[in-house]
Amino acid sequence: MSNDDASSGAAGPAGAGATRDPANRVLIFDTTLRDGEQSPGISLNKQEKLEIAHQLARLNVDVIEAGFPITSPGDFESVQAIAREVEGPVICGLARTSKQDIEAAWNAVRDSERPRIHTFIATSDIHIERKLQTTREDVKGQVRAAVAQAREYTEDVEFSPEDGSRSDVEYMAEVIQIALDEGATTINVPDTVGYTMPREYNAMFTELYRLVPDLRKVVVSVHCHDDLGIAVANSLAGLEAGCRQVECAINGIGERAGNASLEETAMLLHTREPSLGLWTGIETTEIARTSRLVSRLTGYQVQPNKAIVGRNAFAHEAGIHQDGVLKERTTYEIMDATTVGLRSNSIVLGKHSGRHALSKALEEMGFELDGQALNTAFKRFKEIADRKKQVTAMDLEALVTDELREEISGYALEWFEVEASSLRPPHARVSITLPDGSSATGSFMGDGPIDAVFQAINAASGMGAKLNDFTIGAVTEGQDALGEVSIVVEVHGFTGAGQGVSTDIIDAAARAYVRALSVAVARSQADAAIGLPETTTP
Ligand code: KIV
Ligand code: ZN
């Protein structure tokens, strides 16, 4: 058996001219901004969500689940902004079955050219009895009312029986029939707890198609969690049973162990298209960039050996492998790295490049910066270009994303100084802006220069933040590479993630720490102010 993927490029192995069966087109429903954002420690602001949504549009996903509007005013505003600004994909808002939820979801997405309301309620007995503390009949009534209400607002309504894979299939079939009778146009049956196995999930859909023949008239969707590490395999099993929408998230982020990873699902379908006959509209060359953006803004690092987007996904260590790849790439590679947008680093600027060259390069990369944002980007570009021989597209991407994060309200780093010596403990002084706009300074003698800066920030902020996670990476290769630091801190039991980019690793660490602190403090304050949502999110 040889590789299916003999080609590279976004057109897919079937090639741009080949005939593809429209019935086998798989819709990619991205839930990075909803289920993905439910990962511990992740808290994206409106600007960051918009940036991710624009990138998802460049990736050409079919649906963006932009959030869960009822859960907070911030979530509502972000979904609304995405609905107003992002063109191309369907923009979807999640809602439980209550009137207020559906109304909030509609108000948030209504300005999109292609709005969708996604409503859900659990159908497994354990959820109905223990979580919802109600009855099967009551759930049916709620589904009827919710889908009918959503259909009054829009023709595009998705319904999900939560914990579907652990539900009694005959009862679930009755619930689905009700949703269809009321006009649902997509039925998504989730493996909410990541428990199912490929053959079970496949058999469940086969049975549902038998019990509810009307399912053949709508889009049926899979939504798998990765608790047992088989979310993508389960998603494929559902597609093989006839489903034509996959719900997934960039870098596989999401509740607990996460959702099926978008990049793995898309590249599985792309690479094995000749065998499977299934295809998507994903612009695969945008995959690597989308993964980097999500990783930077969420603070969730991608593991080095992660399929498709990990640092080592296309690296060959063993001599025999390297030798083979040099002679013929397909001896050890089933995909071409350029197909997912890796190794495309054609933009190079130097220290003599001016504002115009920078703005043109950014425009080519899809960043629309003008006015103050362009001035700030130019200032940082100059600082970097003074220290680095060449500034590449990857550097620019890191820099612009870093600037974006300045929008996070809360604390901001003003300056720091560290005295480091092998003879005595390092001493750091910092000055930060507090959330009320005033400045505060702090100093500390730490175990190492970075520890001293972190403790000095704690002293200045008056917050006893605890460092939970600290990772240093390089944006590109070479001695003069930009350093990128990811941090997770904890404040009063609430975590916050932050990242920072700089040619100076202490500067990158300090920026990351202050941002993580802002997120954690904002989360603890939001919780104190509004309490938790009335029922748990799925
Ligand atoms: O996992 C789940 O059940 C969900 C639903 C809302 C689709 O996220
Ligand atoms: Zn989910």
Residue 217 tokens read as 């008239």
Å from CA of 261 to ligand 1 middle: 15
- CA dist., res. 123 & res. 52, Å (int): 32
pLDDT of residue 406: 56
Closest CA to 483 of 471, 499, 472: 472
Closest CA to 500 of 510, 512, 482: 512
Å from CA of 35 to ligand 1 middle: 8
Encode the chain (538 residues) as per-residue pLDDT tens digits.
555 543 434 445 655 556 899 999 999 999 999 999 988 767 788 988 999 999 999 999 999 999 999 999 999 999 999 999 999 999 999 999 999 999 999 999 999 999 999 999 999 999 999 999 999 999 999 999 999 999 999 999 999 999 999 999 999 999 999 999 999 999 999 999 999 999 999 999 999 999 999 999 999 999 999 999 999 999 999 999 999 999 999 999 999 999 999 999 999 999 999 999 999 999 999 999 999 999 988 888 898 899 999 988 888 778 888 888 888 888 888 999 889 988 655 667 888 888 888 888 888 777 778 788 888 888 888 888 887 778 888 888 888 877 766 555 689 999 999 998 888 899 999 999 999 999 999 999 988 999 999 999 999 999 999 999 898 888 877 777 888 898 889 999 888 888 888 889 999 999 999 988 988 888 787 766 544 443 445 6
- Cβ of 127 less than 6 Å from ligand 1: no
Tell me the ligand closest to 222's alpha carbon.
1
pLDDT of residue 3: 59
- Cβ of 167 less than 6 Å from ligand 1: no
Q: Judge contact between 460 and 440, C-beta under 8 A.
A: yes
Pairing mode of beta strands 483-491, 466-474: antiparallel
- Cβ of 198 less than 6 Å from ligand 1: no
Ligand 1 atom with the shortest distance to the CA of 188: 7
Q: Which stretches within 405-448 are classed as H helix?
A: none
Residues in Cβ contact with 298 at an 8 Å cutoff, skipping those fewer than 6 apart: 36, 37, 39, 42, 44, 253, 497
Q: Whose CA is nearest to atom 6 of ligand 1?
A: 538
pLDDT of residue 58: 96
**pLDDT tens digit string along 406-444?**
555 689 999 999 998 888 899 999 999 999 999 999 999
> How high is the mean pLDDT of the chain?
90
Per DSSP (E only), the strands in 403-506 are 412-419, 427-433, 439-445, 466-474, 483-491, 494-502
DSSP H or E segment with residue 101: helix 99-109
pLDDT of residue 460: 97
pLDDT of residue 346: 62
Residue 153 tokens read as 């607002």
pLDDT of residue 291: 96
Q: Judge contact between 169 and 208, C-beta under 8 A.
A: yes
Report the interhelical angle of 449-461 vs 505-530 (nearest 10°).
30
- Cβ of 118 less than 6 Å from ligand 1: no
- Cβ of 160 less than 6 Å from ligand 1: yes
- CB neighbour burial string for 429-463, b if at least 16 within 10 angstroms, e if fewer: bbbbbeeeeeebebebebeebbbbbbbbbbbbbeb
Tell me the torsion sign for CA atoms 273, 301, 376, 389: negative
Ligand 1 atom with the shortest distance to the CA of 163: 3
- Cβ of 190 less than 6 Å from ligand 1: yes
CA distances from 149 to 34, 59, 179, 538 (A): 22, 32, 11, 21
| Cβ neighbours, 10 Å, residue 133 | 9
pTM score of the predicted model:
0.84
- Cβ of 538 less than 6 Å from ligand 1: yes
**pLDDT tens digit string along 373-395?**
888 888 888 888 887 778 888 88
Residue 91 tokens read as 């923009």
pLDDT of residue 388: 79
pLDDT of residue 405: 60
Residues in Cβ contact with 243 at an 8 Å cutoff, skipping those fewer than 6 apart: 205, 220, 221, 222
pLDDT of residue 359: 87
Tell me the ligand closest to 94's alpha carbon.
1
Ligand 1 atom with the shortest distance to the CA of 160: 7
Tell me the ligand closest to 122's alpha carbon.
1
Å from CA of 188 to ligand 1 middle: 9
Q: Judge contact between 247 and 31, C-beta under 8 A.
A: yes
